[in-house]
Amino acid sequence: MKGKRVHIKSFGCQMNKLDTALVTSALRKAGFSLTGSEKEADVVLINTCSVREHAEQRVLSHLGHLKHIKKTRPDMVVGVIGCMAQRLGDKLLEHEAVNIVCGPAQIPRITELVTKALQEKAKSLAVTEKIRKTTEKQNQTLEKFESAYGIEDEQIPGQAFVRAMRGCNNFCAYCIVPYVRGPAVCRPPQAIIEQIKKLADQGVKQVTLLGQTVNSYKYRSGQRTYCLADLLVMASDIKGIEWVKFVTSYPSEEFFDQILQVMADSPKVCNYLHLPAQSGSDKILRAMNRRYSSRWYLELLDKARAVVPDIAIAGDFIVGFPGESQDDFAATVEMVKKARYKNCFIFKYSPRPGTRLWRAGKGLEDDVGAEVKQKRNIELLAVQEKVSDELSRAFLGKEVKVLVEGLSKKPHLNAADSGDNPQLVGRTATDYIVVFNGPESLAGRFAKAKITRTSPLTLFGELI
């Protein structure tokens, strides 16, 4: 398919970004070229997210826009890939603009699907019928695709994401992920390490291992069972790799002691934990099918801080889960105050057809009104902002090491402060965002900055 141009638009989490990189790389190898302009594209692919309704609505409205473009360019091929493709399947294929629907477990077929759509103009559906019962063969196909592609793709300079595990077996009552990404499958450690070695050879200095519940990574090979702590050590031993991070963790006993110990012992394993609590109310945690109490969760944070004193912890919360009373919400506020997160992602509950709650026939009981959800969201953000502000202020006057990502997208500083150098953005090992002026050639390299000013989510400094 020489000469055909593909435009890919990506919504959603890091997993999706990684899938986009794999798909891009596979299409490039097949002779397609990538274009940043939708108008010029022969093929438009949208990688979608199903976690909240809002994410799906954005895709649907974009499809409306593409339908309009197709009136003048009927040959343009539109493909929807990702979680929404798996969730809606043929319903999505009925959309006038859509030619291809391809679920996350079917992306190894992307080149074939796109080629066929360009040649035959027919619609095609590639979703996994029994997504919770994937076969060994399906897993092997995904593994082969994963290890072959996505390495040379444009990521942030010097950084790369590597999948440790796919799917999820946790079935939190609100969550669609287990039904669109399938069961938890851990990738062989050799494949992961080989991939990281190749990345390091290409100049990558920081790898982030990905999994929905990455702390539960476990792989039996011969006599040995590998857990996440083993992967972290093996990745740190690779020449050229300086920082190793991992997201997202689930608050369970699984391997936490080992992981924390490795963090404490290895200077390369970054002292950063993304550990969603989702709620501070035990009643709501039970209803969410989360398997811990608020007290146990806070004790886990205490333990983490005892073993790794400078650890930075980030959280996720859902406000307005069905049945969340004012008291339940107050318990969440308490938890956010006590947990002292570096930052928190706060979401308003969004009922998702197909989840546990929905299947139990309770999905429609979205009984916390939109206004209350909004109010709780704002209140919780304000509580977190105060904590974030305090934690950021502690960096004033200190020196930090950052991996520079590139030019800062937002002009945070006054132009007068900028001097001759542009404004750069980097992140510390503990995931703090640092903005400072420096030469653009620092992108993808480590630098040191002295912090002169702070805001809740950003540290500002001077290059040393």
Q: Which residues of this chain interact with ligand 5AD, rule CB under 6 A?
A: 51-52, 174-175, 276, 278, 316, 318, 347, 349-350, 352
Q: By CB under 6 A, is residue 170 in contact with ligand SF4?
A: yes
Q: Which does 316 bind (CB under 5 to 8 A by kind): ligand 5AD, ligand SF4, none?
A: ligand 5AD
| Out of 82, 178, 211, 320, the residue judged to bind ligand SF4 by CB under 6 A | 178
Site size with ligand SF4, rule: CB under 6 A: 10
Nearer to ligand 5AD, 329 or 347 (CB): 347
Query: Residue 241 CB, nearest distance to ligand 5AD (Å)?
Result: 27
C-alpha 290/C-alpha 284 separation (Å) is 9
Q: By CB under 6 A, is residue 172 in contact with ligand SF4?
A: yes
- Burial tier of 182 (Cβ tally within 10 Å: 0-12, 13-18, 19+): buried
Nearer to ligand 5AD, 187 or 348 (CB): 348
**What 8-state DSSP symbol labels residue 422?**
P
Q: Distance of alpha carbon 30 from its chain centroid, rounded? A: 27
Short-list 142, 118, 109, CA closest to 44: 118
Query: Residue 174 CB, nearest distance to ligand 5AD (Å)?
Result: 4
Q: By CB under 6 A, is residue 317 in contact with ligand SF4?
A: no
Query: Residue 360 CB, nearest distance to ligand SF4 (Å)?
Result: 15
C-alpha 130/C-alpha 179 separation (Å) is 9
Q: By CB under 6 A, is residue 168 in contact with ligand SF4?
A: yes
Nearer to ligand SF4, 292 or 460 (CB): 292
Phi, psi of 101 (to 5 degrees): -125, 120
Nearer to ligand 5AD, 219 or 349 (CB): 349
Q: By CB under 6 A, is residue 175 in contact with ligand SF4?
A: yes
Query: Residue 315 CB, nearest distance to ligand 5AD (Å)?
Result: 9
Tokens representing 55 are 């994410």
Q: Which does 250 bind (CB under 5 to 8 A by kind): ligand 5AD, ligand SF4, none?
A: ligand SF4
C-alpha 432/C-alpha 445 separation (Å) is 16
Q: By CB under 6 A, is residue 171 in contact with ligand SF4?
A: yes
* Helices 136-148 & 14-29 angle (0-180, nearest 10): 70
Query: Residue 384 CB, nearest distance to ligand 5AD (Å)?
Result: 14
Give the helix/strand (H/E) hosting 263: helix 256-265
- Find the part of the chain contacting ligand SF4 (CB under 6 A) among 172-180, 214-222, 300-308, 363-371: 172-180
Strands annotated E in 154-294: 159-163, 165-166, 185-186, 206-210, 218-221, 224-227, 243-247, 272-274
Single-letter code of the amino acid located at 167: G
Nearer to ligand 5AD, 369 or 419 (CB): 369
Short-list 283, 313, 263, CA closest to 431: 313
| Out of 250, 292, 317, 347, the residue judged to bind ligand SF4 by CB under 6 A | 250
Nearer to ligand 5AD, 22 or 368 (CB): 368
Provide DSSP, 180-210.
HS-S-EEPPHHHHHHHHHHHHHTT--EEEEE
Nearer to ligand SF4, 15 or 424 (CB): 15
Nearer to ligand 5AD, 52 or 187 (CB): 52
Torsion, CA 356, CA 362, CA 365, CA 366, rounded to 10: 0
323 dihedral zone (left: phi>0; alpha: psi -120 to 50; beta): left
Single-letter code of the amino acid located at 245: K
Query: Residue 381 CB, nearest distance to ligand SF4 (Å)?
Result: 20
Q: Count, in order, helices (H) and strands (E) of the chain.
A: 15, 21
Q: Identify the three-state secondary structure at position 80.
A: strand
Query: Residue 212 CB, nearest distance to ligand SF4 (Å)?
Result: 4
Nearer to ligand 5AD, 66 or 331 (CB): 331
Residue 278 in contact with residue 290, Cβ under 8 Å? yes
- Find the part of the chain contacting ligand SF4 (CB under 6 A) among 27-35, 105-113, 169-177, 228-236: 169-177
Query: Residue 172 CB, nearest distance to ligand SF4 (Å)?
Result: 3
C-alpha 272/C-alpha 429 separation (Å) is 7
Q: Which does 347 bind (CB under 5 to 8 A by kind): ligand 5AD, ligand SF4, none?
A: ligand 5AD
Q: Which does 170 bind (CB under 5 to 8 A by kind): ligand 5AD, ligand SF4, none?
A: ligand SF4
Positions that interact with ligand SF4 (CB under 6 A): 168, 170-172, 175, 177-178, 212-213, 250
